[in-house]
Amino acid sequence: METTDLRLPDYWEDVRPDVRFNPVGSAIQQGMMDFVNAESRLAGHVLVATSGSSGEPKWIALSKRALLASASSVNAHLSAAQNDRWLCALPPFHVGGIGVFARAFAEGIPALTFDGRWRGRAEEFATLCETERITLTSLTPTQVHDLVTEQIHCPASLRAVIVGGGRLDKVTGQAARDLGWPVLASYGMTEASSQIATETLDALANPFVGDWLPVLEGWEVSEKSGIRGPALFSGTVAESKNGGWQFNPASVDEEGWFQTADRVQLRQGRNQRPELCFLGRSDDLVKRLGELVSMNGLRERLATATRRHDLSGTVIALPDARSGARFVAVFERIGRDDQRAQESVNACNVAGAPFERIDEIRFVPNLPRTELGKIAYSLLSKQLRYSEDRG
């Protein structure tokens, strides 16, 4: 199947459904395409595979109307104008990459593509931004980390870098700004066609924090009800129990609210716009010794502890008959890392409660990651269990 070019204006007016398959390591499933083309409710939709680290594979159905509603909201937030130029350095089969082209089309401005894989090409990306006078782009925390690690300075043309696909930690965010990169933290999800909340351009005049993010125009957010807005997805496509395919409309209540698995805190911000702080996912809570532990919080504490040792690691919860769960710190092995890993875990344990203690350390050649650089926690957990079963 030939993938349609998102840069073509005709693409956004075409009512034929478009499935954004990952061209690397994913076979085209003709049965799915036959189903999608025959499902009238998917006309004018783009289907995007979820980029999360857990759960069964499924495709989120986003109408082009929803994608363009999100694009208009983001453009207004960034004060996008005719002299801007977008650069897409994200996969075109994820909502982050699709969103870049939707914003360019909505504003009638150019969008260029940084083709190929990112690893080892951070300086090449910066050079392209400079030579093409790029003003706007979107990156993941992993990509920002690489720019900082390689001490690459930002070209003068760039005025905003939206960072999504995960939380950008304060140290890396500030280091990026010190190098001139105008990074803006954001919060969003595939089901929302991209961003829901993003730092303002005014935030670039202050030290990077990235905790409280203004909710974008067009979105309503509730700590209890979830999210509501014109950029909400239409539903999902997944394999049915009989081996076929089925379309499941989005589960919204009678008032149009979609309940997410994310936990957020809200407050009133400037200009009467609400601001949100992402706390984690409700499904990242693990019960241990009768206490609920946020895996996101535990992983962030370990990341803080490992930063001074220049290690890459995370935490996985495995079943335990006595305590309910045991926490395993998993590090990528580079040379002799045992002592540095132990020091990092010790620092993490001191900073947390007794029931949050990490029990053991393991090493792997490489942490499995998604195309956006997120750690694939479900796959990593399976790998650890498999190694245990083999003894």
CATH number (domain holding residue 46): 3.40.50.12780
Write down which residue in 239, 261, 281 finishes a domain.
281
Cα 163-373-317 angle, rounded to 5 deg: 110
DSSP annotation of 272: G
Judge residue 389's burial from the number of C-beta atoms within 10 Å of its C-beta, 0-12 exposed, 13-18 middle, 19 or more buried.
exposed
Number of domains forming the structure of the chain: 2
Same domain, 225 and 364: no
What pLDDT, on a 0 to 100 scale, did the predictor assign at position 45?
97
What pLDDT, on a 0 to 100 scale, did the predictor assign at position 369?
84
Write down which residue in 227, 253, 281 finishes a domain.
281
Contact 238, 57 (CB under 8 A): yes
Same domain, 17 and 118: yes
Same domain, 260 and 379: no
Same domain, 252 and 297: no
Which of 105, 219, 204 is closest to 162 using CA atoms?
204
What pLDDT, on a 0 to 100 scale, did the predictor assign at position 391?
54
Q: Does any domain span residue 238?
A: yes
Q: What is the spatial order of strands in the sheet that 212-214 belongs to?
A: 212-214, 274-281, 262-268
Same domain, 64 and 112: yes
Dihedral of the alpha carbons of 300, 306, 312, 314, in degrees to the nearest 10: -40
What pLDDT, on a 0 to 100 scale, did the predictor assign at position 51?
45
Q: Does any domain span residue 4?
A: no
Same domain, 261 and 314: no
Which CATH number belongs to the domain containing residue 328 in this structure? Answer: 3.30.300.30
Q: Does any domain span residue 128?
A: yes
Same domain, 276 and 359: no
Contact 261, 281 (CB under 8 A): yes
Write down which residue in 281, 301, 317 finishes a domain.
281
> What is the full per-residue pLDDT of the chain (391 aa) written as tens digits?
345 688 888 999 999 999 987 654 454 567 888 899 999 999 999 999 874 444 456 899 999 999 999 999 999 999 999 999 999 999 888 899 999 999 999 999 999 999 888 888 999 999 999 999 999 999 988 899 899 999 999 999 999 999 998 888 888 999 999 999 999 999 999 999 999 999 999 999 999 999 999 999 999 999 888 999 999 999 999 888 887 899 999 999 999 999 998 889 999 988 778 999 988 877 788 888 778 888 888 998 998 888 877 788 999 999 887 788 899 999 987 655 688 899 999 999 998 888 899 999 999 988 988 777 788 888 898 888 877 766 5
Give residue 310's domain range.
289-389
Same domain, 340 and 380: yes
Q: How far apart are CA 298 and CA 368, in angstroms?
A: 19
pTM, two decimals, is: 0.80
What pLDDT, on a 0 to 100 scale, did the predictor assign at position 1?
35
Q: How far apart are CA 315 and CA 288, in angstroms?
A: 14
Same domain, 95 and 156: yes
Q: Does any domain span residue 1?
A: no
Same domain, 211 and 346: no
Same domain, 249 and 321: no
Same domain, 114 and 179: yes
Radius of gyration of the chain (CA): 21
Which alpha helices (H) appear in 215-310, and where do they start and end? 295-307
Q: Does any domain span residue 262?
A: yes
Q: Does any domain span residue 305?
A: yes
What pLDDT, on a 0 to 100 scale, did the predictor assign at position 161?
98
Q: Does any domain span residue 41?
A: yes
What pLDDT, on a 0 to 100 scale, did the predictor assign at position 2?
42
Q: Does any domain span residue 361?
A: yes
